[in-house]
């Protein structure tokens, strides 16, 4: 299992050997520490729990939970695995060198939150006419008929835009800098700068 908890730095571009310029997203990698193993017998599923960065004021419950790993992680995430016997022991550290250039990966992050938005911005609705007596400039239009007297679930209307978990697949590792603990991924990655990004080896 290849997986890391990273933070998004930003985007840049690199030039390949054939002269093609590729857009690359840089991810900062702090050492990831294995905190706990979860098994089918005890927890109902196989998973590995990892933490990264340094937390200052951990609660007593969290401090007791991570005591065996001898770390004080700020961020804790969990990754499902098929076989728990193949993963690293508690306290082991994983860094940027666990990935190689050319590896296929998928990234998961929270998209930028853009607040409450109307249907034009949120769903790309067309604007109504502004001339000849038109008054529905940015209104959503009809949201249902007389029967049934309710609005169907999933009707496209105004609402919260962004701040949702998105997974982008089909990306590749473009560079691995072990000295600066930075990994470069081809293409765009969801989320703002300094946002938490989960980097995993692609399963398909």
β-bridge partners, 14: 22
CA distance 8 to 140: 36
Q: What is the pLDDT of residue 104?
A: 95
Q: What is the pLDDT of residue 18?
A: 87
Residues of the chain with pLDDT under 70: 203-204
- Collapse the DSSP code of 98 into the 3-class scheme (helix H, G, I; strand E, B; otherwise coil) and give the result: helix
Q: What is the pLDDT of residue 204?
A: 67
pTM, two decimal places: 0.86
Q: What is the pLDDT of residue 88?
A: 85
Kindly report, as residue ranges, where domains of CATH 2.40.30.10 are found in the chain. Answer: 3-114+165-201
CA distance 127 to 56: 50
Query: What is the maximum alpha-carbon separation in the chain?
Result: 73
CATH class as words, domain 3-114+165-201: mainly beta
What secondary structure does DSSP assign to 4-22, as a single string?
A: EEEEEEEEEEEE-TTS-EE
């Amino acid at each position: 299992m290849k997986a890391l908890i990273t933070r998004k730095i930003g985007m840049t571009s690199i030039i390949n050997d054939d002269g093609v310029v590729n857009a690359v997203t840089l991810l900062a990698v702090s050492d990831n520490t294995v905190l706990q193993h979860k098994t089918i017998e005890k927890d109902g599923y196989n998973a590995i729990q990892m933490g990264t960065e340094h937390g200052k004021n951990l609660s007593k419950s969290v401090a007791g939970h991570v005591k065996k790993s001898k770390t004080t992680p700020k961020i804790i995430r969990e990754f499902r695995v098929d076989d728990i016997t193949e993963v690293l022991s508690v306290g082991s550290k994983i860094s940027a060198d666990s990935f190689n250039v050319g590896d296929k990966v998928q990234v998961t992050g929270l998209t930028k939150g853009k607040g409450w938005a109307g249907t034009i911005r949120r769903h790309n609705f067309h604007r109504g006419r502004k001339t000849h007596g038109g008054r529905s400039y940015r209104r959503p239009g009809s949201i249902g008929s007389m029967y049934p007297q309710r609005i169907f679930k999933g009707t496209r209307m105004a609402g919260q835009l962004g701040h949702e978990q998105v997974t982008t697949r089909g990306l590749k590792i473009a560079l691995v800098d072990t000295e600066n603990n930075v990994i470069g991924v081809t293409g765009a990655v969801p989320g703002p700068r300094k946002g938490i990004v989960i980097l995993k080896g692609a399963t398909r």
